[in-house]
A and B are shown apart, each in its own frame.
Chain A
Amino acid sequence: MDLTTKYLGLDLKNPIIAGASPLSNNVDTVKLLEDKGAAAIVMYSLFEEQINHEARELDTFLTQGTESFAEAMSYFPEPDQFHSIGGEDYLNKIAALKKTVDIPIIASLNGVSAGGWMKYAKQMQEAGADALELNIYYIPTDPFLTGVEVEKIYLDDLKTVRSHIDIPVAVKLNPYFSSFANMAVKLDDAGANGLVLFNRFYQPDINLDALEVTPDLQFSTSYELRFPLRWIAILHGKVKASLAATTGIHEADDVLKAVMAGADAVQLASVLLKKGAKQVEVILNDMKKWMQEKEYESIEQMKGSMSYKSVAEPAAYTRANYMKTLQSIK
């Protein structure tokens, strides 16, 4: 049985990728993921905001109160060198992972602006990353910012990164565009080697006791796969870029559905955080079992078999819920 697939031009032994999560912070865990069958690793994200914030923070607090009082010119010994300012430890981690495992390592860069931080893309490539996942998020709160302008931010970011590096670039993005399919095509044209659907935001909650907004991230459920599933099915065959499903991939069934909808690969995070690396093995075994039972020979064979263009009733992907409800009354 052939589970191999091609994603971002990389040959993967199966479609299961460990998505960006804190698990990749630990070299031993990554090794275990590889041993349990993960075909690639997306590293945790290097956050633009965090890089900037940490540098500012360190500068501010190391100089706070200095040169103000005769007895205390400073409060800290200052080393000649900080080793992990500006993502150095991230780059070191890429190198360490490359030494430890054989599966592709996909670095992840998270940010908004196409500013100076994009230089990290190059450094990630130099550190040995096999591909880069660009996680762009932007909450357009400005009521005067048009959709076109928002789209431009994404496209400019991608182009900037693309122009800096040679390794494949995937864009992980949110679905909130007026015409998502059109946006996908534009990204495709701008050089994206893959689209990862979709990233999940921290969502705000309100703490009624403290009267505070408390954003957090809950684990996904299989049900949430439905949303990317639709868009992968719609985009399959319409873009050159590889497609990866993320959000809600918890079981073998989820993987199979995603592949049938047209995904080249799937990314797992919540389920691995909850159940551990061994879940990769469980899913792979279940997949194989199902494929055996249903006499599928390969992943390639089923890829896109249930996509918008291949399915018997494509309207099912475009129909909204109330239509179904009305029909069911009939």
Chain B
Amino acid sequence: MQRKMVTIDGNEAAAYVAHKINEVIAIYPITPSSNMGEWADEYSAKGQKNIWGTIPSVTEMQSEGGASGAVHGALQSGALTTTFTASQGLLLMIPNMYKIAGELTSTVFHVSARTVATHALSIFGDHSDVMAVRQTGFGLIASNSIQEIMDFALITQNASLETRIPFVHFFDGFRSSHEVQKIEQLTMDDMRAMIDDDLVIAHRERAMNPEKPVLRGTAQNPDVFFQARETVNPYYDKAADIVQKNMDKFAKIAGRQYKLFDYFGDPNAERIIVMMGSGAETAEEAVEYLNAKGEKVGLIKVRLYRPFSIKHLMAAFPKSTKAVAVLDRTKEPGSMGEPLYLDVLSAFTEQMAEGKLPFANFPKVIGGRYGLSSKEFTPAMVKAVLDELIKDKSKNHFTVGINEDVTKTSLDYDPNFSTESDDVVRAMFFGLGADGTVGANKNSIKIIGEETENYAQGYFVYDSKKSGSMTISHLRFGKQPIHSTYLISKANFIACHQMVFLEKIDVLKNAQKGATFLLNSPYPKEETWNKLPKKVQQEIIDKKLKFYVIDAYHVAKETGMGVRINTIMQTCFFAISGVLPREEAITKIKETIKKTYGKKGEQIVQMNYNAVDQTLANLHELKVPEQITSTIEMQPTVPVEAPDFVQEVTAMIIAGRGDELPTSKFPIDGTFPTATTQWEKRNVALDVPVWDPDICIQCNKCANVCPHACIRPKVYDGKLLDKAPATFKSTPVRGKEWPEGFMYTLQVAVEDCTGCELCVEVCPVKNKVDTSKKAINMAEQIPIREQEQENWKFFLHLPDYDRSQLKIETVKGAQFLRPLFEFSGACAGCGETPYVKLASQLFGDRMIVANATGCSSIYGGNLPTTPWAQDENGRGPAWSNSLFEDNAEFGMGFRLTIDKHNEQAKEMLRTMQNQIGQKLVDDLINAKQVDEADIAEQRERVEQLKAKLKSMSGSEARSLMSIADYLVKKSVWIMGGDGWAYDIGYGGLDHVIASGKNVNILVLDTEVYSNTGGQMSKSTPTGAVAKFAAGGKPLPKKDLGLLALSYGNVYVARVALGASDTQTLKAFIEAERYDGPSIIIAYSHCIAHGYNLKQGLQQQKLAVDSGHWPLFRYNPEVAAEGKNPLQLDSKAPSIPIQDYMYNETRFKMVTKMNPDAAKEFLERAQKQVSKNWKVYENMAKMDYSNNNS
């Protein structure tokens, strides 16, 4: 049968099959598995049916724990049920997995295997998560390639039904989940042929059913539990054979034969690698290459890992086996070795003991680790492992792929060893996230994969930043299936879509001799050569590259494409790469454009067609001069004044050379220095704000809203201007509160600015002569870059104004506090970071932050650099991220320690008061510590105490010294998004606010899961489109504020900076001062709302004015005074809700998809805001004068 060839990624392959052979799907988003759930939801939303003719039900739960509970329930009630997850998500499913397996219930969980967080979180792939469930009783089946993912998704389902053992079907996160490959798509008939309906019916018959009631899930006692637990043995004993039978059955249907342990290599091989996952594809490529060179090596691909079948494993080995290297993509510190290694070793030993070992001698067996967190695994590393087996003393418990120079476990490998075939087109594209490079490449792969005989592969490497982020695409095309599951190191085509990259990274490093180099240059073709850095010119000449240039931005501008150069660069690729005849390629591109953009209107299609046509006229081949003409050097990654760690480690990571860093360079426990974003000058903004001191009223609103802390006001003694650079701007400070002769400067960090324009939008002043100008205006960055570098440096050198003398209760005053959260990797125009920054300004020097996993933990804690910063005294926020689900509890733990240490310090002060001095002890213990001045005084007292303790001997003094800092008030902040606060972490958050403990919770509410790409949360409002609410969310948003204030003893505030910055500031100060739990729910506009974020603040105001987001503060201290604790800080809804909603694509797109539903949502939303307002209004009117609290 001729099956359709499709070019899809691993997640889509898994979801495609899983959706067709299940009835119920319950999921929770987690990278890199989220897309599987999203695909399933999309299929169902589009009415796609499963093989039994019904549309599977897809439900998003509040956590993976919840998803596994729902899966367990659905299975127990008889539905064929699945879920998709990874990493921490899989770990949260463990309790239910034990139950599901214990009850011999058939199901398949599809897992894109991802690193479990240890010393750090990583979204990338390894087997630490799946290895953590091998004890649950679930079977484990590994897919190594995209085709296998599709095939095994099907095979495993029937195997599970037949064995009655539940399975985890896993494949490597990112490398397989996100790799795009051309594969053969299974048909509905294939799936019908594979799934045995009798088994399905048997599954249903085991369901809980009141018509024939049974009880499952008893509590058992020592007398019987053990025996009962052993009843499952026969099922596990038979499982391997049954799985093999199903693989054989599949081979008859689809023609691809798999074995539980698939051997690949020379039939008389002596050295064998055993492994599973995507690395096995690379190993296969290397083994084939080495055998062709005359070596005798082999590879065993483990497919069925649990139940582990010794019989099948032994049968897979050639009799000639002399040495075996078992590779694990996980680390189990403290174990004798990693799991697969131990399993293979045990198998050999058991066989030996039983006299059944099929080899002449007991082979040499070594184990090693590779590929943690998607670390590259290349044929060179495979060779290193096989070479190690030849040695007399082979290194056991080795690592490969890194330089582990501490305990010296790593194997050396030759990075130049390559197995890449000359027949394969290998293309690398360096682009910006915003320029559409990846999308265009995905289109190209589809064109080549689906329209030609070629096989195609695409893999995409993304940045750790969300603004100005770089993407590198790795594309391979060839006549043979592609097994290279590693990045391209020898490219025959390289495209650089942004010329600035040439000065920052070595774009041509991977270009092989005679390769083609395509550059998007903003300069005329004649000038381009001279604008290249010296090193680039040298590489072009040395490697004899064919060099093409295009001014893609010019073409984009001329054709109305704006900054998206995707179509243009794609056209260039086809025009010069020769993958397809040019004319044919153009036709195909146009067809794809029609397919991709057709639904968005004819105009968009025409615009893209026009761009294609214009491209060819603007694409030029440059004759490469023989001589280097340039004097431009590559930019240093970090400035010379950066600290050593930044120079040696951080700079390497920034430069894309983190792979080269040896183990010894890293902190042993995941502890990193803060305040390092200042060294990473990213220069991502084309236009930056420029201050006009003549009309500025010094309100500091621009600084207040800047998401990246790039605009800073400072008041300082005018005398300090003596050494100011010539272009440094300053003006006398306005207001009587300042000392005589003091000046004001508003300085912009132009190299850190992302160009979001929120500052310009918020600026309240207009130039009286030219009203198009404000007191801050956007201007091109490059012409002022150098002068502003100097000005910024000078500005930083000016002393900060004494914080205890500032009026921090005013927006203006608070903004003179130095931000201790700066230059984060958040999106340009981010709505969350201004709140985070504000907290860091107000409390940063005594702040400890628990950060839930999500956007804020990524822009706050993703390497290479850290935005959490330090003041001139070296004080600043201490920050940590535990998990997604436990953040409130994690932060409460901070509080418990702080309270305990504070109490203990006070107890010790009393015990030691004679030595320390009565007055100091009394003052330290009774200090009120409310405002900045109080705190400064207490700090001073603690310094006195420390000085005294230093001079004292004895363990008591040392002990008190170690906790003396806790005598200064600490500010515990628990931060995270709505996914955490409303969904996965709500139980913990609820418990923590009910505890009465003095913690401050900041909910950065974007009303959607932003970090994982826009999935619905319980905060998502009515009518908003999100993933899992593709037609718009029909139900209302949860009112977290109302729930929190129901306790009565919790300080609750709902704020929106764009609607009232003063109310926001008040709320932060009050929340922190309140000696009990506080929660601030902060409206955070987000890229996932679908509009230009420079309008974010206006939208916040509309959200408030429409009643969608009423502002309030609920202060329990006020109730104690006999007044109503609820203060409404915004007025009754004054504009229709649609004036707010329809500025945002998330709401508006419903009108384009389903106008009737949109109308219905609008009516509901309008009713909700009216009702909600009444509720708040009535509560705010309640009389508390008779102690009615």
Q: A70 and B1030: CB pair below 8 A?
A: no
Q: B601 and A55: CB pair below 8 A?
A: yes
B:92-137 near A, CB below 8 Å: 123
8 Å CB contact of B1146 from A57, A66, A69, A76:
A76
Chain A residue nearest to B1031 in the complex (CB): A79
Q: Which residues of chain B come closer than 8 Å to A57, judged between CB atoms?
A: 1145
- Check A74 for interface membership: any CB of B closer than 8 A: yes
- Check B1025 for interface membership: any CB of A closer than 8 A: yes
Question: In the complex, what's the smallest C-beta–C-beta distance from B570 to chain A, in angstroms?
Answer: 13
Question: In the complex, what's the smallest C-beta–C-beta distance from A109 to chain B, in angstroms?
Answer: 15
- Check A322 for interface membership: any CB of B closer than 8 A: no
Q: B1149 and A76: CB pair below 8 A?
A: yes
Q: Which residues of chain B come closer than 8 Å to A212, judged between CB atoms?
A: 771
- Check A64 for interface membership: any CB of B closer than 8 A: yes
**What is the bound-complex CA distance between A75 and B1151, given in angstroms?**
18
Question: In the complex, what's the smallest C-beta–C-beta distance from B1016 to chain A, in angstroms?
Answer: 10
Q: A83 and B35: CB pair below 8 A?
A: no
Q: Which residues of chain B come closer than 8 Å to A312, judged between CB atoms?
A: none
Question: In the complex, what's the smallest C-beta–C-beta distance from A76 to chain B, in angstroms?
Answer: 6
8 Å CB contact of B45 from A66, A68, A74, A77:
A77
Given contacts A58-B600, A63-B564, A83-B1154, is CB(A73)–CB(B1090) below 8 Å?
A: no
- Check B766 for interface membership: any CB of A closer than 8 A: yes
Which stretch from A84-92, A98-106, A218-226 is at the chain B interface? A84-92
Question: In the complex, what's the smallest C-beta–C-beta distance from B565 to chain A, in angstroms?
Answer: 13
Q: Which residues of chain B come closer than 8 Å to A211, judged between CB atoms?
A: 766, 771
- Check A51 for interface membership: any CB of B closer than 8 A: yes
**What is the bound-complex CA distance between A271 and B1049, given in angstroms?**
57
- Check A202 for interface membership: any CB of B closer than 8 A: no
Q: A68 and B471: CB pair below 8 A?
A: yes
**What is the bound-complex CA distance between A69 and B178, given in angstroms?**
12
Q: B1014 and A76: CB pair below 8 A?
A: yes
Interface digits, A247-269 against B, CB 8 Å rule (1 contact, 0 not)?
A: 00000000000000000000000
Q: B1013 and A72: CB pair below 8 A?
A: yes
Given contacts A71-B123, A79-B1153, A83-B1155, is CB(A116)–CB(B606) below 8 Å?
A: yes
Interface digits, B839-873 against A, CB 8 Å rule (1 contact, 0 not)?
A: 00000000000000000001000000000000000
Q: B469 and A84: CB pair below 8 A?
A: no
Q: A67 and B41: CB pair below 8 A?
A: no
Q: A68 and B469: CB pair below 8 A?
A: yes
Q: A69 and B462: CB pair below 8 A?
A: yes
**What is the bound-complex CA distance between A62 and B463, given in angstroms?**
21
Question: In the complex, what's the smallest C-beta–C-beta distance from B396 to chain A, in angstroms?
Answer: 34
Question: In the complex, what's the smallest C-beta–C-beta distance from A307 to chain B, in angstroms?
Answer: 44
B:1035-1094 near A, CB below 8 Å: 1087-1088, 1090-1091
Question: In the complex, what's the smallest C-beta–C-beta distance from A205 to chain B, in angstroms?
Answer: 14
Q: B771 and A75: CB pair below 8 A?
A: no
8 Å CB contact of B1013 from A59, A62, A71, A116:
A71
- Check B439 for interface membership: any CB of A closer than 8 A: yes
**By CB atoms of chain A within 10 A, which of B45, B1152, B1153 has the most?**
B1152
- Check B623 for interface membership: any CB of A closer than 8 A: no
B:596-614 near A, CB below 8 Å: 597, 599-604, 606
**What is the bound-complex CA distance between A22 and B178, given in angstroms?**
48
Interface digits, B27-68 against A, CB 8 Å rule (1 contact, 0 not)?
A: 000011011001001100110000000000000000000000
A:111-132 near B, CB below 8 Å: 116
Given contacts A64-B1090, A84-B1155, is CB(A72)–CB(B1011) below 8 Å?
A: yes
- Check B175 for interface membership: any CB of A closer than 8 A: no
- Check A147 for interface membership: any CB of B closer than 8 A: no
- Check A52 for interface membership: any CB of B closer than 8 A: yes
- Check B522 for interface membership: any CB of A closer than 8 A: no
Q: B1014 and A75: CB pair below 8 A?
A: yes
**What is the bound-complex CA distance between A77 and B1146, given in angstroms?**
10
Q: Which residues of chain A come closer than 8 Å to B1090, judged between CB atoms?
A: 61-62, 64, 75-76
Q: Which residues of chain B come closer than 8 Å to A327, judged between CB atoms?
A: none
B:1130-1157 near A, CB below 8 Å: 1145-1146, 1149, 1151-1155
Chain A residue nearest to B1011 in the complex (CB): A71
Interface digits, B1-45 against A, CB 8 Å rule (1 contact, 0 not)?
A: 000000000000000000000000000000110110010011001
Interface size class on chain B is: 35 or more
Q: B31 and A65: CB pair below 8 A?
A: no
Given contacts A72-B1011, A77-B42, A81-B599, is CB(A67)–CB(B471) below 8 Å?
A: yes
Q: A70 and B31: CB pair below 8 A?
A: yes
**What is the bound-complex CA distance between A86 and B438, given in angstroms?**
28
Q: Which residues of chain B come closer than 8 Å to A73, judged between CB atoms?
A: 35, 1013
Q: B1030 and A77: CB pair below 8 A?
A: yes
Q: B469 and A77: CB pair below 8 A?
A: no
**What is the bound-complex CA distance between A56 and B561, given in angstroms?**
10
Given contacts A65-B1087, A77-B45, is CB(A70)–CB(B123) below 8 Å?
A: yes
**What is the bound-complex CA distance between A264 and B1090, given in angstroms?**
48
Q: Which residues of chain A come closer than 8 Å to B1026, judged between CB atoms?
A: 76-77
**What is the bound-complex CA distance between A131 and B858, given in angstroms?**
58
Q: B436 and A63: CB pair below 8 A?
A: yes
Q: Which residues of chain A come closer than 8 Å to B1030, judged between CB atoms?
A: 77, 79
**What is the bound-complex CA distance between A195 and B804, given in angstroms?**
74
**What is the bound-complex CA distance between A65 and B827, given in angstroms?**
8
- Check B1012 for interface membership: any CB of A closer than 8 A: yes
**By CB atoms of chain B within 10 A, which of A57, A60, A61, A71 has the most?**
A71
Q: Which residues of chain A come closer than 8 Å to B437, judged between CB atoms?
A: 67
**What is the bound-complex CA distance between A208 and B69, given in angstroms?**
61
Interface digits, A3-28 against B, CB 8 Å rule (1 contact, 0 not)?
A: 00000000000000000000000000
Q: Which residues of chain B come closer than 8 Å to A60, judged between CB atoms?
A: 562
Q: A82 and B1153: CB pair below 8 A?
A: yes
8 Å CB contact of A77 from B1010, B1027, B1091:
B1027
- Check A293 for interface membership: any CB of B closer than 8 A: no
Interface digits, A34-53 against B, CB 8 Å rule (1 contact, 0 not)?
A: 00000000000000000110
Q: B1027 and A69: CB pair below 8 A?
A: no
Q: Which residues of chain A come closer than 8 Å to B432, judged between CB atoms?
A: 68
- Check A142 for interface membership: any CB of B closer than 8 A: no
Interface digits, B434-451 against A, CB 8 Å rule (1 contact, 0 not)?
A: 101111001000000000
Q: B1025 and A77: CB pair below 8 A?
A: yes
**By CB atoms of chain B within 10 A, which of A56, A76, A77, A211 has the most?**
A77
Q: A67 and B1025: CB pair below 8 A?
A: no
Question: In the complex, what's the smallest C-beta–C-beta distance from A235 to chain B, in angstroms?
Answer: 37
8 Å CB contact of A68 from B463, B766, B1011, B1012:
B463
Q: Which residues of chain A come closer than 8 Å to B1091, judged between CB atoms?
A: 61
- Check B477 for interface membership: any CB of A closer than 8 A: no
Given contacts A56-B604, A59-B600, A77-B45, is CB(A71)–CB(B439) below 8 Å?
A: no
Q: B1087 and A75: CB pair below 8 A?
A: yes
- Check B1161 for interface membership: any CB of A closer than 8 A: no
Q: B439 and A63: CB pair below 8 A?
A: yes
Chain B residue nearest to A68 in the complex (CB): B433
- Check B466 for interface membership: any CB of A closer than 8 A: yes
Q: A83 and B1152: CB pair below 8 A?
A: yes
Give me 22 A-to-B residue pairs in the complex whose CB atoms sit less than 8 angstroms apart, sorted by A's number: A55-B602, A58-B1149, A58-B1152, A60-B562, A61-B1090, A64-B1087, A65-B434, A67-B438, A68-B438, A68-B471, A70-B31, A71-B1013, A75-B1014, A76-B1088, A77-B1026, A79-B1030, A81-B599, A82-B1152, A83-B1154, A85-B600, A116-B602, A116-B606
New contact pairs (13) apart from A71-B32, A84-B1151, CB-CB < 8 Å: A52-B603, A54-B1152, A55-B600, A61-B1090, A62-B1090, A64-B1090, A67-B437, A76-B1014, A77-B45, A79-B599, A80-B46, A83-B1155, A116-B602
Question: Which 8 A-B pairs rank lowest in CB-CB distance, beginning with the nearest?
Answer: A68-B433, A55-B601, A72-B1013, A67-B438, A75-B1014, A61-B1090, A61-B1145, A70-B462
What is B's interface to A at a CB cutoff of 8 Å?
31-32, 34-35, 38, 41-42, 45-46, 123, 174, 178, 432-434, 436-439, 442, 460, 462-463, 466, 469, 471, 562, 564, 597, 599-604, 606, 766, 771, 827, 858, 1010-1014, 1025-1027, 1030, 1087-1088, 1090-1091, 1145-1146, 1149, 1151-1155
